[in-house]
A = this chain, B = another copy of it.
Amino acid sequence: MNAYMKQQLSQYQEINNDKARLLVSCPDQPGIVAAVSSFLFENGANIIESSQYTTDPEGGRFFLRIEFEAEGIRKKIEQMKATFATVAESFQMTWSMNLASELKRVAIFVSKELHCLHELLWEWQSGNLMAEIAAVISNHEDARETVESLNIPFLYMKANKDIREEVEKQQLKWLEEYRADVIVLARYMQILTPDFVSAHPNKIINIHHSFLPAFIGANPYKRAYERGVKLIGATSHYVTNELDEGPIIEQDIERVDHRDNVEALKNIGRTIERSVLARAVKWHLEDRIIVHGNKTIVFN
């Protein structure tokens, strides 16, 4: 961790020392906001940012994200959670309350293409991605030097489909050992088993190198080239057991033209992948995403 980042981090901790985030999802009915905001007021909390969404005005589902500030929240959050449980129950809420100052621990999986890893590390060092990088896990040695120079554990194990179970067993051990809260597949080119995926619902963020649902699966840039599209894109989504079908978090595109061959598309695409994945991870870290069915609500 360099000096700049240490400064960013301590500044972040200071600014966010008294902040927490509440995420709520429940059947819509009148009085939810009144109940939640009264609860916060009574607990000495000031609402800093609040976003909400209802799927349908009539009988829909209600979603809420509130960022609030309360002096000494680090000491009293457990008690606040206990009190809030009663409010939550009366509205049948699914909810979470997280300290902004408690950084999530990220494990980054990577293979040979390192641009997404580099972007995440760069954003992290710049103080834009407030997280602890628990470890970088790879089936290739290419990233070792960069990763270890930042004092981040680099965990290498060869991988291929014949030894998938063995590999995942080791990876699960590492994830536990390094206490990872979220897994980012930063162009990790191995498919995960259903068991692995099921064990981490809405915790695995992938970057796919096309604007889904176009070009699901392998070689999207080659297929984009062959189809003659005038735009290429990238999609970040939570991983489910349907290939490239998980809830989409973020997408973006860039314009291309007939002069761009497959190599050029890959090149342009890398820039899109970098920024799309970085945004998705940032929103996850800031508790801005609620998954609803196969979609995301992103309060950004």
A residues engaging B (CB < 8 A)? 4, 28-34, 37-38, 40-41, 44-54, 57, 69, 115, 118, 122, 126, 128, 142, 149, 211-215, 227-231, 233, 247-253, 257-259, 267, 270-271, 275, 294-298
Residues in B whose Cβ lies below 8 Å from that of A267: 128
How far, in angstroms, from A148 to B128 measured CA to CA in the complex? 25
* Distance between Cα atoms of A296 and B271 in the complex (Å): 25
- If the complex has contacts A229-B248, A275-B271, are A52 and B50 also in contact, measured as CB distance less than 8 A? yes
A31: chain B residues within 8 A (beta carbon): 41
* CB-CB under 8 A for A258 and B298, given A227-B213, A251-B229: yes
Tell me whether A40 and B34 are in contact (CB under 8 A). yes
Closest B residue to A215 by CB, please name it: B213
Contacts of A270 in B (CB 8 A): 126
Residues of B within 8 A of A247 (CB): 228
Inter-subunit contact B213/A258 (CB<8 Å): no
Do A211 and B214 form a contact, CB below 8 Å, given A122-B118, A229-B251, A253-B231? yes
Offer 10 A-B interface pairs, CB within 8 angstroms, sorted by A.
A30-B44, A34-B38, A50-B50, A51-B51, A53-B259, A211-B231, A228-B295, A231-B252, A231-B253, A258-B296
Question: Provided the pairs A30-B46, A34-B34 are in contact, do residues A248 and B233 lie with their beta carbons within 8 angstroms?
Answer: no
The answer for the CA separation of A248 and B231 in the assembled complex, in Å, is: 10
Complex contacts, A257 vs chain B, CB 8 Å: 298
Inter-chain pairs besides A128-B267, A149-B149, 8 sampled, C-beta below 8 Å: A30-B45, A33-B37, A33-B47, A37-B38, A211-B211, A213-B215, A230-B298, A231-B253
